[in-house]
Amino acid sequence: MTDKTRIAIVGYGNVGKGVHRAVLANQDMVISGILTRNIDRTRSQLVDKVEDIFSADAMHLIEALAERTDVAILCGGSKNDLPRQGPLYAVHFNTVDSFDTHDNIPDYFKMMDGVSSYHDNVSVISGGWDPGTFSINRILAEAFLPGANAKGFYGLEKQGGLSMGHSDALRQIKGVKDARQYTHAIKKSINRIKRGENPDLTPGDMHWRECYVVLDKNSAEERKRVEQEAKTMKTYYAPYKTTVDFVTQKQLDALDKERAMAHDGLVVATSETGEGNKASIEYKNVYESNPEATGSILVACARACHRLSKRGEKGAFTMADIAPADYSIHSKDYLLENRM
């Protein structure tokens, strides 16, 4: 294909690498450049050759890159990175991001909508799977089954699922060298919904969180302080039962090998149709690599973002605002003939 969507990757951690692999897997995409805090480390970790790797703080280079980029995919964390990076890059680029702090999405949307609209750009926010594909399925389930209260659960298996956003939030605590957080679904709450109870569940009724932390200085005082700060972190940990285990870097590396970066989840809704006939809808995903799966979804969002921009749209969009066909590499004729 000659008319490829040109993608700039902003941030080259696990999600950035996942985005890079997804671009390579899509024949209508090409990398225009990478913006990163650490150029040397990024060069050593590239999953494929990229000529242009720039400092994320070099504004004159950012502006030059924007001239030959269709969409910038922002791969930073939601706690500290995206609230700063989102509006900064929306001045220069069409953007896609995976902002996933659910409570703050309305405010983040308003901010991104204001900036991108003013600069005639499109920003697709909160891409990924929750928020993202799970959001779409919650909305559809409640539309198709009036009275349903659709819920999303993640970390269905015994080992739980690696949460990248919550792990990043732990690493933002002063004195934390490295950390992982695994989310566990509370199965009895899933079963209540499947039985048709439609319970009004709190976040703590649905999940608990398992944390492993490596400290810069592993003292009793530091362990107490960091555990307290983690467990009381608003939005991320305060609403949940949370365990915090302090480990060495070697132990954490072993945990990475044992559990890898797998994650899974389920959206489930139940209600009744007609004269009391029970109905249920479920959507499930299972990902051996959470960052690669997230990267693949973000790349599909970038395709849709570019199409919206070419139509003259501007402002912020969520995945639920976009027609499903806009995510697909296929033409409308192909979709009509083969996917309807």
Mind listing the pLDDT tens digit for each residue in 186-202? 999 999 999 988 888 99
Q: How confident is the model at residue 63 (pLDDT cuts 50, 70, 90)?
A: confident
What is the pTM for the complete model shown?
0.91
CB contact set of 261 (below 8 Å; sequence gap of 6+): 14, 162, 288, 289, 290, 291, 292
pLDDT tens by residue, 295-323 = 999 999 999 999 999 999 999 999 999 99
- Do 325 and 182 fall within a single domain? no
Same domain (yes/no): 258, 173: yes
Q: Which residues constitute the domain of residue 78? A: 5-130+291-338
**Residue 23: pLDDT over 60:** yes
- Residue corresponding to tokens 């649905």: 206
| Domain CATH for 50 | 3.40.50.720
State whether 81 and 126 are in the same domain. Answer: yes
Q: Domain check: are 108 and 165 in the same one?
A: no
Residues 126 and 174 both lie in one domain: no
Greatest Cα-to-Cα distance within the chain, rounded to the nearest angstrom: 65
**Final residue belonging to a domain, choices 274, 289, 304:** 289
Query: Average pLDDT for residues 69-75, to the nearest whole number?
Result: 97
34 and 70 within one domain: yes
Query: Tokens 């909305």 map to which residue?
Result: 139
Instruction: Please name which of 191, 105, 150 lies closest in space to residue 283, comparing C-alpha atoms.
Output: 150
Are both 161 and 105 inside the same structural domain?
Answer: no
Number of domains observed in the structure of the chain: 2
